[in-house]
Amino acid sequence: MKKTVFVLTILLLSSLVFAQTTLSDGDITMVTINADADVEDHKIFDFVPLVDLDIGTIIYFTDDAWISGATNNWRGSEGIITYTAPNNITAGNPVTYLGYNADGFIETESGFDPSGSGDNIIVYQGSTESPVFLYGIGWAKSNNWIYNISYVTNTSDIPPGLSTENNTIFQPGSSDNYQYNGSTSFISPSACLSAVGDESNWSGGDVPYSAFGTDFTLPVTLSSFTAQYINDTPILCWTTQSETNNAGWNIYRGETNDALANEETYQLNLSLGLIPGAGTTSEPTDYSFEDVFPVFQETTYFYWLESVDYSGETESFGPISLTIPENEWENTNSPEIPKNYGLHQNYPNPFNPSTEISFMLNENCIAELTVYNIKGEKVSTLFQNKSISKDELIRTNWDGKDNFGKTVSSGIYLYKLRTNKEDFVRKMILMK
């Protein structure tokens, strides 16, 4: 039975229907490659999807070379194997190419024949004219991924979007045949790619390998993660197809797509605690979350999910982005959205080391913004005698320092907006 988890708000999620799964680089990995294989007896390769594949998903495999800067990029004269998923494929389950006997595989361009004197397999979606590259593996040669026209057999440059740094390009060595023999249980898809990208986890030799017979175990398979702006509030929705030992979720928000890596995000569920996960289940689970923190018109926000397993290991998903519209109403004759006058709650809150304070006033005035500790002692004056215009959104940062430039201690602080018309006070928490 399908489980549904609601957080802070009740939101009906409609059923998801996919024509096929659109993949990104690193969503699949190769685990076996045989250059000496006779397709009558041994498969040429195995691959493992790290996300669920919907029935009808199309993936292309070629032993052609990608030549950077060339007119048509592809060297040509090599073959293409097209895989069409004959059913839904669960993430972590290996898929085996057994030549023309393989279920779901057809040779759409003749000439696919990895060579024992040096070859590669490039994996992509899209088309040969506009490929979206997913993975690449090269072997049976001593050189790395650099196209060399003097080679009689195929060598290739690294296709766009792939790299050795993120383990989407790999070369296990110069033997004719290779198979992955490392761990098959991972805390995340990125951990899986890292393990498969370690050549010490591979066996190589002159004898072709049989089919890879072990499933990979991945803790969470995320099939969708979206954000919508509904009734003046960002609503996040995500669906997992399966979960393994998933204790729960954290959600982070930032204002750049690299905010998480730069530690410039705010944890939206910090005061609520971990959002409960489904533990271990092979059934789909739907989640939703309401972002109640202030947002500003025409500002783009980025969101990340973090799954946490029972051992404390984490995996991040995202980011996705959401731009707050200038006006919720497409019809210009519709009522104007009321302006958010007054002193707003700081964001993020709690914070470390800095936070943003914003406000908007309904008339022109002179203002002062000051931070006090819980004893009522003045800590920092952010500005004073500032001329404020009606309907102007003012945004100011406090860096957690006092008027002498000294970093203050953790605790509750008050920030007070004093004008010649009215005073406003709110609380904020500095947490280190």
- pLDDT tens digits along 21-31: 889 999 999 99
pLDDT band at 232 (very low <50, low <70, confident <90, very high): confident
Q: Give the strand pairing for 3-4 and 285-290.
A: parallel
- When pLDDT is averaged across residues 394-412 and rounded to a whole number, the result is 93
Give the separation between CA 202 and CA 218, rounded to whole angstroms: 20
pLDDT for the residue numbered 288 = 84
Beta bridge partners of 235: 228, 290
Terminal C-alpha separation, the chain: 42
Per cent of the chain over pLDDT 90 is: 46
Question: Mind listing the pLDDT tens digit for each residue in 163-199?
Answer: 999 999 999 998 999 999 999 988 778 889 999 999 9
pLDDT band at 405 (very low <50, low <70, confident <90, very high): very high
Question: Mind listing the pLDDT tens digit for each residue in 360-392?
Answer: 999 999 999 999 998 889 999 999 999 999 988
Q: Which of 184-193, 282-291, 407-416 has the highest mean pLDDT?
A: 407-416
Q: Is the pLDDT of residue 61 over 70?
A: yes
In whole angstroms, how far apart are CA 264 and each of 61, 184, 253, 254, 348? 39, 34, 9, 6, 10
Question: Mind listing the pLDDT tens digit for each residue in 82-115?
Answer: 999 999 898 899 999 987 667 899 999 988 888 7
pLDDT for the residue numbered 331 = 40
Half-sphere exposure of 305 (CA within 13 A, CB side): 27
- When pLDDT is averaged across residues 416-423 and rounded to a whole number, the result is 92
- When pLDDT is averaged across residues 283-295 and rounded to a whole number, the result is 86
- When pLDDT is averaged across residues 286-302 and rounded to a whole number, the result is 89
The SS3 call for residue 195 is helix
- Higher-pLDDT residue of 397, 333: 397
- When pLDDT is averaged across residues 244-264 and rounded to a whole number, the result is 90
- When pLDDT is averaged across residues 262-289 and rounded to a whole number, the result is 85
Q: Is the pLDDT of residue 337 over 50?
A: no
pLDDT for the residue numbered 363 = 92
pLDDT band at 142 (very low <50, low <70, confident <90, very high): confident
Contact assessment for residue 146 and residue 112, using Cβ atoms and an 8 Å cutoff: no
Q: Is the pLDDT of residue 41 over 90?
A: no
The SS3 call for residue 193 is helix
Give the separation between CA 50 and CA 389, rounded to whole angstroms: 54
pLDDT for the residue numbered 52 = 84
Contact assessment for residue 325 and residue 350, using Cβ atoms and an 8 Å cutoff: no
> What angle is formed at CA 49 by the lines to CA 16 and CA 223, rounded to 5 degrees?
20
pLDDT for the residue numbered 251 = 96
Q: Is the pLDDT of residue 204 over 50?
A: yes
- Higher-pLDDT residue of 151, 382: 382
Per cent of the chain over pLDDT 70 is: 89
Q: Is the pLDDT of residue 76 over 70?
A: yes
- Higher-pLDDT residue of 321, 327: 321
- Higher-pLDDT residue of 292, 379: 379
pLDDT band at 11 (very low <50, low <70, confident <90, very high): very low
pLDDT for the residue numbered 82 = 95
pLDDT band at 330 (very low <50, low <70, confident <90, very high): very low
How crowded is residue 321: how many other Cβ atoms within 10 Å of its Cβ? 12
Q: Give the strand pairing for 355-360 and 394-398.
A: antiparallel
| Domains of the chain, CATH where assigned | 28-205 (no CATH), 219-323 (2.60.40.10), 342-430 (2.60.40.2550)
Nearest to 340 by CA among 287, 386, 290, 395: 395
pLDDT for the residue numbered 5 = 46
pLDDT band at 314 (very low <50, low <70, confident <90, very high): confident
pLDDT for the residue numbered 379 = 96
Give the chain's mean pLDDT. 85
The SS3 call for residue 101 is helix
pLDDT for the residue numbered 38 = 66
- Higher-pLDDT residue of 186, 406: 406
pLDDT band at 345 (very low <50, low <70, confident <90, very high): confident
